[in-house]
Copies of this chain bind each other. A is one copy, B any other.
Amino acid sequence: MEKKIALKDVARHVGVSAALVSYVLNGKEKEARVSPEMSSKIRKAAAELNYQPNVIAKSLKIGKTNTIGLIVADISNPFFSSIARIIEDEAKKHGYIVIFGSSDESADKQQDLIDVMLNRLVDAFIIAPSAGTEKQIKELKKRNVPVILIDRYFPGMEADCVHINNFQAANKAVQHLIKNKRSKIAMLAYDSQLPHMQERKEGYKAALKENALRFKNSWLLEASYQNIEQDVAKKMSALLQPLQVDAFFFATNSLAVAGLKKINECGIKVPEELAIISFDESDAFDFFYSPVTYVSQSVADIGKEAVKLVVSRLHNKTAKAANVIVEAKLIVRESCGSKTKKKK
């Protein structure tokens, strides 16, 4: 029907060249020495004709798409979708739109996503990298495409990243359990080699050590990301039937959700028989009969800082790699048997 209006259409309408219209509509009338009268004439015509620029053509010409590629493990995980929402809003403020992809913690899928997005000329990436993808990130940096790592990171790599201090946060969590008179503390983590996961484990071990509690290998459970539900159930039953520990530390919200289900099934009472503490947030934590104490990462901060870094990278290619540490807060509820009474 109504053909799309192009630059030359409004140019013809006004009786000038397309170039002039381009200058005006891009606010370059000063540099291009366009007369004020012509400027307003062009603007009016553009408005009248409802001219909408073809962003694709512009992108081809200038080699930028004003698009950010966001790659996370799984967009349906509330932790990541919350971050995605923040990133969406912050990016929009700077004129960027975001395309997303879920890697399922697979290096291959992540590479595919990167390739697809690169071919679409995304201007920058925000990635929560899967294990074993250092080379992918390095390659991007070599090609000079800005990439910001979130949630995870690679020690020794010169890369922008925003994350919490995982060692310290995990340590604090376990210390909290110990302060609440727990001594037989198990941990459920992912069997991932990613540093953030390793550091959570190290934080756990260190807290035990600092309190002269022996670390038992069999109490550090490691579940695989694929069919987590079954794996968690299997691994946990060794410690729950019969109950051999008095506390459980979950390394992520999805592990906690799976773990709590198993705990419920076994009819174990929280916190009387078993104290619970977890990383991340979840609606489920609020509604567990004994509201779950957790280490909260501010998704708002992570998202905002990530976009801030992206934008500054995009405008200043040479800046040194930034390493933004966002704060992790311990949110104390009832699941550790703490004396703090339930308060609104």
Contact = CB atoms under 8 A, between A and B. Distances in A.
Given A55-B119, A97-B120, A88 B75 contact: yes
Interface residues of A, number: 53
A81 B88 contact: no
A55 B100 CA distance: 17
A121 B288 contact: no
A77 to B, nearest CB: 8
Interface string A63-96: 0010100000011111001101100110000000
Contacts of A169: none
A192 to B, nearest CB: 20
A264 B290 CA distance: 12
Contacts of A284: 283-284, 286-287
Given A99-B99, A116-B97, A286-B284, A85 B75 contact: yes
B265 A144 contact: no
A55 to B, nearest CB: 5
A344 interface: yes
A282 interface: yes
Nearest to A261: B286
Contacts of A81: 75-78, 81, 84
Contacts of A2: 143
Interface in A252-300: 257, 260-261, 264-265, 282-289
A344 B88 contact: no
A284 to B, nearest CB: 4
B78 A85 contact: no
Given A55-B121, A88-B100, A1 B144 contact: yes
Given A75-B75, A261-B286, 5 more contacts: A78-B283, A97-B116, A97-B117, A287-B288, A289-B289
List 9 A-B pairs, minimum CB-CB distance, nearest first. A81-B81, A76-B85, A283-B284, A289-B289, A284-B287, A287-B288, A55-B119, A76-B82, A99-B99
30 contacts: A2-B143, A52-B115, A53-B119, A55-B119, A55-B120, A56-B56, A56-B120, A56-B121, A57-B60, A75-B84, A76-B78, A76-B82, A77-B81, A78-B81, A78-B283, A81-B81, A84-B100, A88-B100, A88-B102, A89-B102, A97-B120, A100-B100, A257-B283, A264-B287, A284-B286, A284-B287, A285-B287, A287-B287, A287-B289, A289-B289
